[in-house]
Amino acid sequence: MKVELLINGVSRSADIEPRKTLLDALREDFLLNGTHAGCEHGVCGACTVLVDGEPVRSCLMFAVQADGYEITTIEGLAPAPGELSVIQDAFCETHGLQCGYCTPGMILSAHALLQRSVTPTREEIVEAISGNICRCTGYGQIIEAVQFAADRLRKANTPRAATQADQPVAEAK
């Protein structure tokens, strides 16, 4: 079946069997291997992508269902080749990953959260990543990474003088 998808702002088309998941189509037909295949039945969250800005499991959606939506994969977050987004960089800074398998899904879930609000509570962060399983970190440093990224994003949108006045840094640490 001919399918046209809007992936990371670029319109792409391929001939895809209806039974192929969006996950497999991204990896095999569009060579976007940053989206990871984990359990392939909707449990682990490794395959999370954004559909119209909201996180969804790409293993639970067929590629033929995905036309007309704006799909964002981990490859679509960095501002330029060789650079990292604020959230990606925060994961490196705080060691929010070890093996890295869950990381693209974690970062996209965090990205969707921080698009809505740069002042999430710890509970909101935990809820946002509750559908993503990590077997290495114990989640503590992932939560720290999201808090750190939120702090940076807050400062990026605040005039310098005001930033020095409040003290969200200590709270994030």
Partner 1 sequence: MKPAAFDYVRPGSLAEACELLAGDDDARLIAGGQTLVPMLAMRLARPARLIDILRLPELAGIGEEKGAVVVGATTRQAQAERDPVIRASVPMLARVLPWVGHPPTRNRGTIGGSIANGDPSAEIPLVAVTLGAEIMLAAKDGSTSMSAEDFFIGPMVTSIDQGQCVRAIRFPVWSHPRIGVGFFEVSSRRSDFAFVAAAAQVALDEDGRCLEIALGLGGVADRPLRLDVSSLLGTPLEAGSGTDAVNAALADIEAMSDLHASADYRRRVAGVLCVRALEQARDNAAAKPAKGAR
Draw the binding track, 58-77, toward partner 1 (x: CB under 8 A; -: no contact).
-xxxx-xx------------
Within 133-172, the residues that bind partner 1 by CB under 8 A are: none
DSSP string over 45-62: -TTEEEETTEEEEGGGSB
Local structure of 43: helix, strand or coil? coil
Q: Min. distance of Cβ 155 from partner 1 in angstroms?
A: 26
**DSSP bridge partners of 7:** 10, 71
Q: Min. distance of Cβ 62 from partner 1 in angstroms?
A: 7
Out of 46, 56, 118, 145, which residue is the one contacting partner 1 (CB under 8 A)?
56
Strand residues in the chain grouped as ranges (E): 2-7, 10-15, 48-51, 54-57, 70-72
Query: Under the criterion CB under 8 A, does residue 127 sit at the interface with partner 1?
Result: yes
Q: Write the single-letter amino acid at 41.
A: H
With beta carbons less than 8 A apart as the criterion, state whether 60 and 100 touch. no
Q: Which residues, in sequence order, are CB contacts of 115 under 8 Å at separation 6+?
A: 53
Q: Which residues, in sequence order, are CB contacts of 134 under 8 Å at separation 6+?
A: 102, 106, 142
Query: Under the criterion CB under 8 A, does residue 18 sit at the interface with partner 1?
Result: yes
Total of chain residues touching partner 1, rule CB under 8 A? 28
Out of 39, 78, 92, 99, which residue is the one contacting partner 1 (CB under 8 A)?
39
Q: Which two tokens stand for residue 10?
A: 């670029």
Query: Under the criterion CB under 8 A, does residue 57 sit at the interface with partner 1?
Result: yes
Q: Min. distance of Cβ 40 from partner 1 in angstroms?
A: 4
Residues that bind partner 1 (CB under 8 A): 1, 17-19, 21, 24, 39-42, 45, 48, 51, 54-57, 59-62, 64-65, 109, 127-128, 130-131
